Amino acid sequence: MNNQTTTIDTNVLNGLSNHEIGEDHLFTGLETPMKKDAFKLSDEEKKAKISILFEEIMDVIGLDLKDDSLKGTPERVAKMYIDEIFSGLNPANKPKVALFDNKYQYNQMLVEKEITFYSNCEHHFVPIIGKAHIAYISSGKVIGLSKLNRIVQYYAKRPQVQERLTNQIAEELKFILGTDDVAVIIDAKHLCVSSRGIKDDTSTTVTSFYGGSFNSSAKITELQNYLKL
């Protein structure tokens, strides 16, 4: 079955510099780029190292680290990075999901909309703030509603590109639910656009994934009517 996904010509990528790729918000694959030894250090060791490095950044830009308001900032940033906003990088934090039999024999689309998430742009490490809308048609199993939220949060809590985030959520749901009949729509505001560069505070970005039976104009229209997009 065909899925509507974003594809990028690798020859085009090879002709672009890293700066150009970053500014154009392209991404090179479904998986988040990770080093092979990404988990060689424990979380506590990572926090200790980040704290030292972030203290250096603060010192370089001229902040007085002896000030009461600033002296704890390196440790706070390190804890925030590892335990909170980038916790989705660690597979140990992946939500555990249980499925249930579709005893009600509900065979229409189930939609959970307006799932708020906070992520970070991997090009500038500034926030992406958005809403995710998820729909699926049961193949015989259903998932607890809160688990849909948790899957969104898990993939959002890492340096991201919105196209990749959309596809990662969709592929995870397809795998868990055992069906291609999955749709994901994300509408997000990128602070790398609104707070720097062009400084456009009104624009948002919409990305979508339509799999299986959602690859029909009738189903897309039905879903969009539910979402009132």
Give yes or no: 123 in active site: yes
CA distance 129 to 210: 22
Of the listed 55, 122, 171, 172, which one is catalytic?
122
Give yes or no: 124 in active site: yes
Which residue type does 15 have?
Answer: G
Of the listed 25, 75, 112, 124, which one is catalytic?
124
Of the listed 55, 121, 133, 163, which one is catalytic?
121
* Residue 110, both tokens: 């189930």
Give yes or no: 162 in active site: yes
Of the listed 153, 162, 163, 172, which one is catalytic?
162
Close Cβ partners of 191 (under 8 Å, ≥ 6 residues apart) = 121, 126, 127, 128, 129
With beta carbons less than 8 A apart as the criterion, state whether 86 and 114 touch.
no
CA distance 25 to 63: 31
CA distance 189 to 201: 8
Give yes or no: 122 in active site: yes
By DSSP bridging, strand 141-143 and strand 159-160 are unpaired
Q: DSSP readout, 67-96?
A: STTTTTHHHHHHHIIIIIITGGGSGGGSPP
* Residue 193, both tokens: 């656009």
CA distance 102 to 158: 33
Of the listed 123, 133, 160, 168, which one is catalytic?
123
What's the DSSP call for residue 83? I
Of the listed 45, 84, 192, 224, which one is catalytic?
192
CA distance 15 to 169: 29
Residues serving a catalytic function are 121-124, 162, 190, 192
